[in-house]
A and B are shown apart, each in its own frame.
Chain A
């Protein structure tokens, strides 16, 4: 049996529950917009600390995920950055090859070197062009720097190239200027890792200073005239009285070659123009700089003309308005004069 106070408490509890349920139902019956307005007002006022707490938690969670994304992006960028030097080098070589292909006036076939990781890789190269692309045996192979070698064997899809480092390699050559003619062959004394060339059978009475460029002579029926072979670095040895042998620094490095050109025009043509000396290249660069400067001065003249026209229009408008053109005349020193001005030259 419940006491009076217990019954009173029970009644109050029921009333409290009923009131809470009634208020909740009233809120449930409100329209969505009204309910949203009430909840927004609560979030802005009494529950703002809770909202702030929740937003901080969300910020922390998204910060962690953002950090992971940034770390992943950084790792990807680092991975890509590792390949950038290789790509730059390849890009530079391709640009060189592209300019060489523009300079070469004869027929050629572009090929890619399929390097093998063997000790004999430098002596024989495998390229990805064969008879299907038009490659034949005994055709010279060049890189942008100079002579690489000659095609030794051909299959339909590939060809093997005997480079200048091969012991059997020979090319008839002459020193720039045409005074001394001889034969270039790989150095017999150099090790495989330090392969170099020798300019043999040079007449004893002539001397070649260090730095002299050695070019293919076109004799022998394989190599056209004018391909750089190497540069004289000094006298290797002498055969007293009749021969002087010079050591050469090779013009092109077969182990570093990635893209090559196979020349297929025969030996009756010369490709000396395709390998201009440094002075020719620097002259061409200077010409391009002069051309750029000339374009720049033309641009300045055009700007000056447009400014002058604008000033003339302004003066005309002002003279119509005030009748005094000199009031708006700009100082002469501020008006740029065109290069094609026909004003008389100042007296000396």
Chain B
């Protein structure tokens, strides 16, 4: 998934739409900890179209937003999102084949890793870490992967996403 320079306006619209989904639609209609994380979908989509450094910075900014609006440890989301952004960009170079399953796997892995890192850096107990990682965290990763694939499907023509197969 590579965004061309010509569709930056479309990317900006996508970012706005995902922010709207994350902070208006999701709390209103999809309550609960297992709801899809549209912020992470945005991060993975943006990071996988840029270099790893830019992905890390994008992740850092995303983490700043998450940390400011989430009453967890300040910095935990920054760190987790920076790493996920870097790895998402790096993974794009590793997985040459771009199809819905690869995107779904990226969203799933990115969300789960982000959840694990945030839990670890925010000082959660080991029992709580295991519980969240295996239940809510994994479930949210799954719903995020499904929602992410839907977003890629809807925006594939608009964003000029090059999908194989």
Contacts and interface: CB of A to CB of B under 8 A. Distances in A.
B53 A12 contact: yes
Interface in A4-50: 9, 12-17, 20-21, 23-30, 34-36, 38-39, 42-43, 47, 50
A21 B69 contact: no
Contacts of A13: 51-53, 56, 86
Interface stretch (A55-63, A74-82, A266-274): A55-63
Interface in B35-84: 51-54, 56-57, 59-60, 63-65, 67-69, 73-76, 78-79, 82-83
Q: Which of A12, A20, A51, A60 has the most CB of B within 10 A?
A: A20
Contact of B75 (A27, A50, A60): A27
- Per DSSP, are chain B's interface residues mostly helix, strand or loop, or mixed? helix
A54 interface: yes
B121 interface: yes
B24 A53 contact: yes
Interface residues of A, number: 34
A21 B74 contact: no
Interface residues of B, number: 34
B73 A28 contact: yes
A17 B52 CA distance: 8
Classify the interface of chain A: helix, strand, loop or mixed. helix
Interface stretch (B25-33, B106-114, B128-136, B142-150): B25-33
Contact of A16 (B29, B56, B121): B56
Given A21-B82, A24-B63, A61 B27 contact: yes
A48 to B, nearest CB: 10
A250 to B, nearest CB: 66
29 contacts: A9-B51, A9-B53, A17-B83, A20-B57, A20-B60, A21-B82, A21-B83, A24-B60, A24-B75, A24-B79, A25-B79, A26-B75, A27-B67, A28-B75, A29-B75, A35-B73, A39-B67, A39-B68, A42-B64, A43-B69, A50-B69, A51-B69, A53-B23, A54-B23, A57-B23, A57-B24, A57-B27, A58-B28, A61-B27
Interface of A: 9, 12-17, 20-21, 23-30, 34-36, 38-39, 42-43, 47, 50-51, 53-54, 56-58, 60-61
Given A50-B19, A57-B23, 4 more contacts: A16-B52, A20-B57, A24-B60, A42-B68
